[in-house]
Structure 1
Amino acid sequence: MSETWIETIKTFGTIAVELVLLFFAVAFIVALLQRRLGEKRIQLWLAGGKMAAPLKGAVLGALTPFCSCSTLPMLMGMLKVGAPFRAAAAFLIASPLMNPIILGITWILFDWKVMVGYALVVFAGTIVLSLALEALGMEKYVRRVKVSAEGHSDAPWQGIKAEARPAWDQAVSFFKPLAIPMLIGVSIGAFIYGAVPETFLTSVAGPDNLFAVPVAALIGIPLYIRTESALPIGLALNSAGMGLGPVFALIIGGAGASLPELSMLAAIFKPRLVGAYVASILAVAVAGGLLIPLLV
């Protein structure tokens, strides 16, 4: 067996285990929070005026250090309690792209100017695109995914011991419709990640290519790369000759709209909304690739 295939199998196994564990951990915590706070309280907090709701969704996303795939149970929980679509959309875009871990790593590996430029572009893009998705009527393309209703979350809190089992049941119900799409997406993403050499990336998105930024953004989507691990890769690519703009376009595209995430999103979003989400991430990736070098 060649080294490429061994690397691919290792990558698949690592990512699959990591995602399943992260998914269940996040889904369980989200279910417990829903049961502790109550659906009405969460819905009221996320509601607000046209700007308040997406701002709250973006801030919530920025404060939750999830990768794109473990964002899904939180998103499903928000939709379940009736959060405004613009808030849920802002959370979905912001969560994998601008949490404190990512901003800290960006500062350490590059510098504070790059970090500030990255944060400004992603945050502004998140607000604009979440409002645009709602204005385009994309909310009607959300599938009604069935989840466990055992022990209604507005019922009185019974204590952690009593609430743990129904919260776990809800986490399992979140996972069931997403399990197969997750494995399919991870398989494809791991293969591409293990098979595509860095020299190819620098050749198609290097400084001599006028379309380097959009090309890098498109290349990023098939690659499953958590932003925390993508940033060191981006630094290496930058040192190897890829411009700063294409590097961040690649990172945003890969972290925000990876194949595993899109496979799972297809279980809760209809195709038109999946396509709109991909277009949104590409827009943020291209904007980031073009603007970040100018801001620093």
Structure 2
Amino acid sequence: MPEVVTKILLEFLSLSKNLLVLFVGISFLISFIQAYVPFEKLEKWMGGKNPLLGNLAGAILGFITPFCSCSTIPLLVTMLNRNIPFQAAMTYLFTSPLLDPWILALMAYIYGVKVTIIYTVATFIFSMLIGWYLDKNNYKEQVKNVIVKGALPEQDQARRKDIILNLKESIKETVDLIRSVLVYVLIGAFIGAIIKEAVPTNFLTFISDQNQWWVIPLAAIIGVPLYIRLSTMMPIAQALLVNGFPLAPTMALLIGGAGASLPELIMLKSIFRKKLVGAFVVSVFLMATFSGYLFLIFEL
């Protein structure tokens, strides 16, 4: 028992450190470069007359900003502050941690081109559908007052002209953001450490012997609370496949683990009301489950 407690504490310290370092770095970088990004043009593109084009833009933005599930939040906050259409922002929230060009190349090398294509198309389309559904059902009303105040265009112009001013403002905004989410990050890291160290490894072996049609949603449920980056999950998934764990539930576990995490959910709770947080969890679960079934059908 003391050994398990030690492992949990060590995992908590490691996870907390990695999360905070990553979150600080991403937050500062986004705060710094946002002064140079023409958000007015981006808003016009995403908020044009064609909502499908705006939704597609959100999916593409997630593809070119491959963050882990926690690191998507700083840019999501910026998008909400800048009045980027809710549909596009939500689509970005789902695609960013799941679609990474480098990871897709690695996936093609490990699992083959067919698996990679199915994964890419499934996550891309499901993310757009979820973004559309959340917007269509007025989930935008479930967004709380956003953590960081959006900068005015005049402030952006001043920061563009003075790099020292931009550095100072970026540091200030990063500190404010970290203060507002620090408790949530630590709580989520502690819960994540408990789950990682307490779940018995032979549990997955037992699951692999069962019928895949009910194993797939179970794998998605297991994956959702875990804090797993795709780059971390890839060798884990490979090890599962080598040990005889089926492909379909493995991919459901991968999508569930990379698409959401307890630290992310706890941080999202600081900007979303319970109804939207719940919808996010259900959406990731459904995406992971249906994608798993898609892999099963193609495998059959």
TM-score normalised by the chain length of structure 1: 0.93
Task: Call closer, same or farther: CA 1:150–1:132 in 2, change over 3 Å.
Answer: closer
For 1:149 and 1:221, the matched residues in 2 are separated by: 31
User: Which secondary structure does the structure 2 equivalent of 1:37 belong to?
Assistant: coil
CA RMSD of aligned residues (A): 1.9
User: Which secondary structure does the structure 1 equivalent of 2:83 belong to?
Assistant: coil
Task: Call closer, same or farther: CA 1:189–1:213 in 2, change over 3 Å.
Answer: same
For 1:280 and 1:208, the matched residues in 2 are separated by: 23
Is 1:91 equivalent to 2:97 in the alignment?
Answer: no
For 1:106 and 1:288, the matched residues in 2 are separated by: 16
Which blocks of at least 5 consecutive residues in structure 2 are unaligned? none
Correspondence 1:257-276 to 2 at 5 A? 257-276=260-279
Task: Call closer, same or farther: CA 1:263–1:206 in 2, change over 3 Å.
Answer: farther
Q: Letter of the aligned partner of 1:162 in structure 2?
A: L
Residue matched to 1:56: 57
For 1:282 and 1:80, the matched residues in 2 are separated by: 27
Residue matched to 1:154: 156
For 1:198 and 1:208, the matched residues in 2 are separated by: 19
Correspondence 1:118-137 to 2 at 5 A? 118-137=119-138
Contact kept? 1:206, 1:241, Cα under 8 Å: no
Is 1:198 equivalent to 2:218 in the alignment?
Answer: no
TM-score normalised by the chain length of structure 2: 0.92
Residue matched to 2:250: 247
Residue matched to 1:44: 44
Deviations 1:41-90 (A, max 9, x none): 34224323211111111111111121000111010011111100011001
Shift of 1:204: 2.8
For 2:126 and 2:215, the matched residues in 1 are separated by: 20
Correspondence 1:1-296 to 2 at 5 A? 2-48=2-48, 49-148=50-149, 153-156=155-158, 157-208=160-211, 210-295=213-298
Contact kept? 2:81, 2:149, Cα under 8 Å: no
Shift of 1:205: 4.9
Contact kept? 1:8, 1:190, Cα under 8 Å: yes
Contact kept? 2:46, 2:85, Cα under 8 Å: yes
Contact kept? 1:56, 1:87, Cα under 8 Å: yes
Task: Call closer, same or farther: CA 1:248–1:141 in 2, change over 3 Å.
Answer: same
For 1:185 and 1:79, the matched residues in 2 are separated by: 23
Deviations 1:89-139 (A, max 9, x none): 011000111111321221222112111111011001011111011011100
Which blocks of at least 5 consecutive residues in structure 1 are unaligned? none
